[in-house]
Amino acid sequence: MPDRLFLSPPHMGPNEQLYVDEVFRSNWIAPIGPFVDRFEDDLAALTGMNAMVALSSGTAALHLALRLSGLRPGDEVWGSTMTFIGGVAPILYEQARPVFLDVDAKTLLLDLDLLEEHLAQRAGSRDALPKVVISTDLYGSAIDATRMRALADRFGFLWISDSAESVGSHWNGQHAGYGADFLILSFNGNKIITTSGGGALGCADPAKAAEARFLATQARDPAPHYEHTTFGYNYRLSNVCAAIGVAQLEVLEARVEARRAINAAYRRALGDRPGFFLHNEPETGRANRWLTTIEIDPIKAGIAAEAIRLALEAKNIESRPVWKPMHLQPVFASASAIGGDCAARAFARGLCLPSGSAMTQDDVARVLAVIDRLSR
Ligand SMILES: *Cc1c(COP(=O)(O)O)cnc(C)c1O
Residue 37, domain CATH:
3.40.640.10
Among 250, 281, 299, the domain-final residue is 250
221 plus 353 within the same structural domain: no
Helix pair 145-155, 112-123: axis angle to 10 deg = 10
**What's the pLDDT at 155?**
97
Q: Which of 186, 221, 250 is the last residue of a domain?
A: 250
Q: Are residues 238 and 284 in the same domain?
A: no
CA-closest candidate to residue 258, choices 369, 363, 366, 109:
363
Q: Pocket residues for ligand 1 (CB within 6 Å)? A: 57-59, 83-84, 86-87, 136, 162, 164-165, 186, 188, 199
Ligand 1 pocket test: pick from 84, 136, 184, 323 the residue with the most ligand atoms within 8 Å of its Cβ.
84
> Does residue 6 form part of some domain?
no
Same domain, 138 and 272: no
> For the chain, what is the domain count?
2
Q: Please give the helix or strand (H or E) that residue 150 lies within, else none.
A: helix 145-155
- If you write DSSP's letter for every residue of 83-98 in order, what string do you get? S-GGGTHHHHHTT-EE
Q: What backbone torsions phi and psi does residue 370 show, to the nearest 5 degrees?
A: -65, -45
| Amino acid symbol at 330 | P
Q: Identify the residue whose C-alpha is closest to ligand 1 atom 3.
A: 86
For residues 329 and 232, state if they share a domain: no
Is there a contact between 7 and 186 (Cβ–Cβ < 8 Å)? no
In the reported structure, the alpha carbon of residue 197 is separated from the centroid of ligand 1 by a whole-number distance in angstroms of: 10
Q: Give the model's pLDDT for residue 376.
A: 62
160, 110: one domain: yes
Tell whether 2 is covered by a domain: no
pLDDT, mean of each 10-residue run, the chain (376 residues) = 95 98 95 95 97 98 98 97 98 98 97 98 88 98 97 98 98 97 98 98 98 97 96 97 98 98 98 96 92 97 97 98 98 97 98 98 98 85
CA distance 33 to 27: 10
Q: Using the mean position of ligand 1's atoms as its centre, give its distance from the Cα of residue 119 in Å.
A: 26
Q: How far apart are the first and last CA of the chain?
A: 24
CA of 223 to the centre of ligand 1 (A): 35
Interacting residues of 150 by C-beta distance below 8 A, sequence separation 6+: none
Which helix (DSSP H) or strand (DSSP E) does residue 134 occupy? strand 132-136
- Ligand 1, atom 2, lies closest to the CA of 164
Cα–ligand 1 centroid distance for 26 (angstroms): 31
Determine the atom of ligand 1 nearest the C-alpha atom of 199. 7
Give the distance (Å) from ligand 1 centre to CA of residue 109.
15
CA of 367 to the centre of ligand 1 (A): 26
Is residue 231 located within the same domain as residue 272? no
Strand partners, 135: 161
Which among 193, 224, 250 is the end of a domain?
250
Residue 107 lies in a domain: yes
Name the strands in the sheet holding 285-286, side by side, starting at the edge strand that comes first in the sequence.
174-175, 170-171, 285-286
Kindly state whether residues 177 and 28 are assigned to the same domain.
Answer: yes
**Residue 7 within any structural domain of the chain:** no
Q: Same domain for 133 and 80? A: yes
d(CA 316, CA 306) in angstroms, rounded, equals 15
Question: Given the CA of residue 57, which atom of ligand 1 is nearest to it?
Answer: 7
Q: Are residues 314 and 218 in the same domain?
A: no
Residues 47 and 157 in one domain: yes
Is 9 inside any structural domain? no
Nearest to 18, CA basis, from 199, 192, 250: 250
Q: What is the pLDDT of residue 61?
A: 98
**Substitution candidate for ligand 1 out of 8, 64, 165 with most atoms within 8 A of CB:** 165
∠ at Cα 313 (308, 317), nearest 5°? 100
Atom of ligand 1 nearest to the CA of 137: 13
CATH of the domain at 333: 3.90.1150.10
Asked whether residue 371 is assigned to any structural domain, the reply reads: yes
Parent domain of 144: 16-250
Does residue 3 form part of some domain? no
Q: Is residue 285 part of a domain?
A: yes
Question: What is the residue type of 256?
Answer: V
pLDDT recorded at residue 229: 97
Same domain for 337 and 246: no
- Both 260 and 162 in one domain: the answer is no
